[in-house]
Each structure stands twice: as C-alpha cells, then as structure tokens.
Structure 1
Amino acid sequence: MNKNKLIILAGPSGVGKGTVENILFADEKLKNILKLSCSATTRKARQNETDGIHYYFISEEDFLKKIENNEFIEWNKHFNNYYGTLYSEIKKINKEGYLPLLEIETVGALNIMKYYNDKNKKNAVISIFLAPPSLDELKTRIKNRGTENQDEIDIRIRKAEEEIAEMDKFIHKIVNDTPEKAAQKIKEIILKEIEEKDE
C-alpha cells in the first residue's frame, strides 16, 4: 500500500468538508490510513475547536516569522486571516505511517499542486474538490450554521464562486449531495490511489 502521497480536500466554505471528514475518519478501513493535517491560522478559535486538533491557533507575529523562515509548504491570507500548512506537520504524519489529509482553501491547494509539480512529484498529490449541488444550496448551508452575519455570508459566496471556477484544476470533483455519498466516493478514490505504485 503506497502511503507516500498526500490528499488535498478543497471546496468553498460551507460545502460540508468537516462533516465529510468526520465520516471518513470514523471508517474502519480509513482510520488506520488517514490523518488530518492540522493547519496553522491567525483566526480566533470557534466554539468546540481545539488548538492542535482543528488548527494551530497562533498570533499574526508568529505566523509572519514562520513565513520568513520558510516553514510553510503553502500559506494564504483570506477572510482577513492567515492560514498555512507547515512542512513539519506533513513530515510528522508521514513519520507516524499515515497518509496526510489536508483540508485547505483552493489557492493553497493549487500552490501545493504546483510545488509537487515543480519537483516532478505530480503523482504524490490526490486532489479532491468538494462542490455544493448549487450556489443557492451553499447560501442556505452557510446561513443555517449561524456563525456569520450577512456581510460575511456575501463575502463567502463571492469567494465560493471564485473557488468553483478553479474546480477543473483538481483531479477529482465530488458534488456533496449528501455527506454519506460524498464520503463513500472519496473513500473509493483514496483506496484506489494508494493501491497504485508511483510511476
């Protein structure tokens, strides 16, 4: 089984990435294979989020120092906060014998794909874009979670339109009609990909 790969799961805010991930990590076959990569961010923790599990919550000053020291495989600023994937996190997961799953924003995902392409390791990345059934459905999902005001919802919808426009740059496109169906499709993709040898 080839675990020398990493999985990118991208998609607009509110599409249901977290719910799909919960199903994947509860799966008997996948829970011994996958490990969620913990990104660093300067945003404040939401209710029920734990430092070191959901994100590494760090100050903007610390984040900028890490950029200066080239500690990120990718980083980005969106919704007025910095987000990034640390090289050390990927190495740690690989060392533990797991396949890293990165839930990241689309620009960051494209940067990682470019990084591996530049190193002629295109096959190391399993890129998956999780799309909503429609923009109207996405608006409803964001409103229903009740964590953003109307201005923030409008910003997220505009951002979602930009991200959906980049969808074809990903190897796999999954529409999240229901989290269970989407998770099953992603599970099939992961198991098929890790059975394949590197070229």
Structure 2
Amino acid sequence: MASAAPQHPPVRLTVLSGPSGVGKGTVVAEVRRRHPEVWVSVSATTRPPRPGEVDGVHYHFVSDAEFDRLIADDGLLEWAEYAGNRYGTPAAPVRERLAAGAPALLEIELQGARQVRARDTDAQLVFLAPPSWGELVSRLAGRGSEPAAVQERRLAIAQAELDAAGEFDVVVVNDDVVRAADELVGLLTAPSSGSLRSGGASE
C-alpha cells in the first residue's frame, strides 16, 4: 500500500467584514505592512478606480459584462452590490491558496460574508467593530465627499451591519489599528478546530 501523502496543517478561509467606515481597509493594509507573508484576496469590482488605486493591487477593475461572465462561470466565491456597484471574490486564487495549505484572508461586505458562510461552513468570520457608534458616525461624516442623503443611507446600512455582529465567530474592536491587525493575524494563524470561539482573540 502506498504511503499517505504529507498532510498540510489544517487551514481555513478567514473573512473580515464590518460596517462602512470602520477601517477594514486600513487594518488590512497594516496587516500587509507588518506581516507581508499574509495572503489577502483581491476583489473584482465594477466601480471605477479612485485616484491612486492600481488594477490588480487594490481591486481587479472589470466591466459589467466581465462581472456577468464571472457569475455565469461560477468564477466568484461571493459577490454583492454595494452603493450601486458590484464587488466579488475571484474563487480560483482562494481555492489554490487553501489547497496549498496556506491561510487566506478576504475583506468583504456583510452580504458576501453570509454567502461565504453558506458555501463554506468551516470559514472563520471576523467582525471588525468600531469602539462606539459615535466614533463610527464621526468617521463616516469625516469623509466629507458625499451629500447628506448619501451619508444618511450609509449610516442606516452601517447600523444594520452592526446588528449582524452576532452572526460572526469573533469580534475585533478597531480601537487601535496596530493591535487590531495583530489580533487578526493571530486568528489567521490559529489552528483550525471544530468549534470557533466567539468574542475574543486567539492567544
């Protein structure tokens, strides 16, 4: 009988989500800066690039037709519409990463996190929360680039997203970017187990 192939340590997909304005992108950027070995999925989006954004680095910027093709070909692990644009996670790179025995991190919105949980019950869902509601309101208002009606809509969405925190396995409070980034990396590298702990960081 042939000997068994070497087994990779158990790994799982880790999903980071949270309300708009909570600082998901800032925390992930800090993870990349301090822990360059961590692999972060690059999402596809139909929205146009913002100043300074690079295709393939910040997002894969695609047309509506290209996005439709990805959906039709089951090429997205999840996708969602947010603020009039569509965002999705290309499935192939994530599957390749996990098959190689290495952890993968997704930074996505709540709709997408729910889709991932439905498709992969072993995925670890991490909710990034603000220190307080007042702090989140201040961060969203501080952007200053949107009309009041749009900001009000964003706050309503953010409140609904905060209410969904109980659906997640772990809540990380973004009261300090460096600490939150280190806590997230600790969760990424923690051994996978049958039941996930809730409401705290791995030791």
Matches within 5 A, 1:84-99: 84-94=88-98, 98-99=102-103
Identify the match of residue 180 of structure 1 among 173, 178, 181.
178
RMSD: 2.1
Tell me the distance in 2 between the aligned counterparts of 1:168 and 1:108: 16
The structure with the larger Rg is 2
SS of aligned partner of 1:110 = helix
| Residues 197 and 138 of structure 1, relative CA distance in 2, 3 Å threshold | closer
Identify the match of residue 21 of structure 2 among 14, 20, 30.
14
Please list every run of 5 or more consecutive structure 2 residues that lacks an aligned counterpart in the other structure. 1-7, 196-203
- Deviations for 1:15-52, whole angstroms, at most 9, x for unmatched residues? 0111111221222xx422x1110111111111121111
Q: Cα offset for 1:94?
A: 4.0
TM-score (norm 1): 0.85
Letter of the 1:62 partner, please give it: E
Tell me the distance in 2 between the aligned counterparts of 1:52 and 1:93: 17
| Residues 147 and 88 of structure 1, relative CA distance in 2, 3 Å threshold | farther
Matches within 5 A, 1:45-84: 45-84=49-88
| Residues 190 and 100 of structure 1, relative CA distance in 2, 3 Å threshold | closer
Identify the match of residue 170 of structure 1 among 150, 168, 171.
168
Structure-1 residue corresponding to 2:198:
none
- Deviations for 1:91-123, whole angstroms, at most 9, x for unmatched residues? 344467642210000110011011012xxxx2x
TM-score (norm 2): 0.83
Please list every run of 5 or more consecutive structure 1 residues that lacks an aligned counterpart in the other structure. none
- Deviations for 1:156-192, whole angstroms, at most 9, x for unmatched residues? 111111111111111100111121222232232223x
Structure-2 residue corresponding to 1:107:
111
Kindly, what percent of the aligned residue pairs are identical?
A: 34
Tell me the distance in 2 between the aligned counterparts of 1:180 and 1:156: 26
Tell me the distance in 1 between the aligned counterparts of 2:30 and 2:79: 27
Tell me the distance in 1 between the aligned counterparts of 2:53 and 2:107: 15
Tell me the distance in 1 between the aligned counterparts of 2:193 and 2:160: 34
1:4 aligns with 2:11: yes
Identify the match of residue 36 of structure 2 among 6, 13, 31.
31
* More helix by percentage: 1
Q: Cα offset for 1:57?
A: 0.7
